[in-house]
């Protein structure tokens, strides 16, 4: 979707009743990718109706926007591979685990997988092991699998918290987010986890 105002390289996200909406800046200064996790198939709306819903969900941030491409809808599924490795082969990133794109953590998890795999392969070379040896690759799998499972569980929890229609869940979610926002230690911990540094 092409916006009438420059995105300035800033991603924006809203959490509304229709589901999480994200505007992700692309290389062109006036082009963003729209990622909208909605229970409704918004791709079937006429363009003008879609743009109206988008403007409402983005609190007016997309006023004057025009469509720059076709819209696509597909079901979001969380998937985890039971095994990341076999002799001479290692899965990482989305090939090993796919999570809800709610917080954009898929890429960070993939980068963390790559960093861990490179560390294990470099260590294997120093130790005189064959890099594709199953024992070497299993160390990578043991290091990354628990973290990726926890990230998937957290994203599923966030997704349910933001899409629940229950007022008590919404209140608990908002109070929890406010508490983290006001607590520097928890906020820094959340940033470290989200960036893959922890």
| CATH 3.30.9.10 domain range(s) in the chain | 1-75
> Which residues lie across from 66 on neighbouring strands?
2
Q: Which residues pair with 148 in a beta bridge?
A: none
pTM: 0.67
CATH architecture, domain 1-75: 2-Layer Sandwich (3.30)
3-class DSSP assignment, residue 22: strand
If DSSP codes are grouped into helix, strand and coil, which group holds residue 98? strand
Q: Which residue has the higher pLDDT, 92 or 182?
A: 92
Provide the pLDDT confidence category of residue 198 given band limits of 50, 70 and 90: low
| Helix spans in 16-92 (H) | 47-57
Residue 196 confidence (pLDDT) above 70? no
Instruction: Give the integer Cα–Cα distance in Å for 73 and 87.
Output: 37
Q: At what angle do helices 184-194 and 167-182 cross, to 10 degrees?
A: 100
74-94: buried (b, 16+ CB within 10 Å) or exposed (e) per residue? eeeeeeeeeebbeeeebbbbe
CATH number of this structure's domain 79-163, picked from the four choices 3.40.30.10, 3.90.550.10, 3.40.50.620, 3.50.50.60: 3.50.50.60
Mean pLDDT to the nearest integer, 24-38: 87
Q: Please list the residue range(s) of the chain that carry CATH number 3.50.50.60.
A: 79-163
Q: Which two tokens stand for residue 86?
A: 């076999």
């Amino acid at each position: 979707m092409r916006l009438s105002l420059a995105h300035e390289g800033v991603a924006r996200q809203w959490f509304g009743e229709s589901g999480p909406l994200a505007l992700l800046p692309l290389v062109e200064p006036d082009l963003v990718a729209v990622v909208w996790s909605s229970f409704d198939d918004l791709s079937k709306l006429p363009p003008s109706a879609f743009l109206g819903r988008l403007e409402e969900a983005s609190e007016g941030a997309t006023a004057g926007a025009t469509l720059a491409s076709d819209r696509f809808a597909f079901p979001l599924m969380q998937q985890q591979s039971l095994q990341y490795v076999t002799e001479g082969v290692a899965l990482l990133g989305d090939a090993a685990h796919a999570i809800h794109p709610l917080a954009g953590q898929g890429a960070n998890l993939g980068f963390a997988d790559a960093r861990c795999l490179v560390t294990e392969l470099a260590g294997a070379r120093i130790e005189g092991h064959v890099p594709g040896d199953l024992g070497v690759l299993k160390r990578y799998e043991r290091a990354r699998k628990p973290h990726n499972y926890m990230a998937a569980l957290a994203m599923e929890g966030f997704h349910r918290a933001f899409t629940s229609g229950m007022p008590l869940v919404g209140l608990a979610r908002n109070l929890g987010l406010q508490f983290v926002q006001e607590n520097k230690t928890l906020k820094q911990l959340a940033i470290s986890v989200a960036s893959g540094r922890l």
